[in-house]
């Protein structure tokens, strides 16, 4: 099964990334990026970004509502 990943630009240099985990859960991360290519830059945010609180993440990524937020 392919896990879902979505990203959004909050600004040209700030991305948020949501990614589904292995256990049917998910988490979202935020990070600063150079702003040249979001299609490439989201990966760095997904691996090294700061984890968002669940309340914020659920507003930004309603498509993940069926999953438990990773604590």
Question: Whole-angstrom Cα distance, residue 2 to residue 11?
Answer: 28
pLDDT in tens, 8-42: 999 999 999 999 998 889 999 999 999 999 999 99
pLDDT in tens, 39-70: 999 999 999 999 999 999 999 999 999 999 99
Helix (H, G, I), strand (E, B) or coil at 46: helix
Structure-token pair, residue 36: 């040249």
Residue closest to 39 by CA, chosen among 15, 10, 64, 3 = 15
């Amino acid at each position: 099964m392919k896990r879902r990943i979505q990203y959004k630009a909050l600004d040209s240099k700030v991305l948020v990334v949501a990614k589904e985990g292995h256990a049917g859960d998910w988490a979202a991360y935020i990070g600063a990026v150079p702003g040249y290519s979001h299609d490439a830059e989201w990966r760095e945010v997904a691996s090294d970004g700061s984890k968002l609180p669940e309340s914020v993440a659920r507003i930004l990524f309603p498509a993940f509502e069926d999953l438990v937020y990773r604590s």
